[in-house]
Amino acid sequence: MNKYVFNHCLKNIRDEKCFKTIYDFYYDRLSLYIVRKYNIKDISEDIVQECFITLLNLKEYKFIEYYNAWLYKICDNLVLKTLNKENSEIKKAISSFDFDGFVKEWNGEIYTEEFGCFQDSVNKLDKNTREIFYLHYVLGFNHKEIACLLRISYANVRQKHHRGIKFLGKKGKVSQKIFLILFIL
């Protein structure tokens, strides 16, 4: 597709034939671009659909010289907007999460004595380490995702996680089973 065909179709985007021309030509290309650049296959099609909605909602037309770059930039912006929205929702959930209340609500009828030791040990961990445990064991994030969410280095996340496990294993003297039960509930 050359720039004149693209711009003609963009100018008349509400015409079904023009919309279909752009849609058919770019849908797969934009989806593949998002998957390769951001590795987010599950929402790539949603982002591309939002891109086409953006084209349909353009208020005024102006000639686009570098139309490929323009479309890819629209997709980039939509991806970043979506990821920022998801990150802010996750951060809000993390900040409002009452880790101590979560621990206190656990029904420890079977492991009462061991769980008490474990609870004391968990309370001695720093806030970042508890957040890392919550994100990893409860929400299922990997270390790289946690580093992104908490805006700390990947190495720091791994180190805090490892030291936290080591601390809980020595101080709490609890089995791995109890550890997993706490965070899976």
The 10s digit of each residue's pLDDT in 53-107 is 999 998 888 898 999 999 999 999 998 888 888 777 766 666 666 655 555 554 4
Angle at 55 between CA 49 and CA 61, to 5 degrees: 175
Task: Annotate 163-183 with DSSP letters as a single string.
Answer: HHHHHIIIII---HHHHHHHH
Separation between Cα atoms, residue 89 and residue 83, nearest integer Å: 10
Q: How deeply is 7 buried, as exposed, middle or buried, from its count of CB atoms within 10 A (0-12, 13-18, 19+)?
A: middle
What pLDDT, on the 0 to 100 scale, is given for residue 28?
Answer: 93
Separation between Cα atoms, residue 172 and residue 99, nearest integer Å: 17
Separation between Cα atoms, residue 28 and residue 22, nearest integer Å: 11
Tokens representing 84 are 């920022």
Separation between Cα atoms, residue 136 and residue 58, nearest integer Å: 42
What pLDDT, on the 0 to 100 scale, is given for residue 94?
Answer: 64
Tallying the residues shown for the chain, one arrives at 185
Top-confidence residue, 135 or 45: 45
Least confident of 9-23, 29-43, 102-116: 102-116
Separation between Cα atoms, residue 132 and residue 156, nearest integer Å: 10
Of the candidates 131, 128, 136, 124, the one whose C-alpha atom is nearest the C-alpha of residue 94 is: 131
- 90-98's contacts with Cβ under 8 Å and 24+ in sequence apart are 90/139, 90/149, 91/149, 94/131, 94/134, 94/135, 94/149, 97/134
Least confident of 46-50, 69-73, 151-155: 151-155
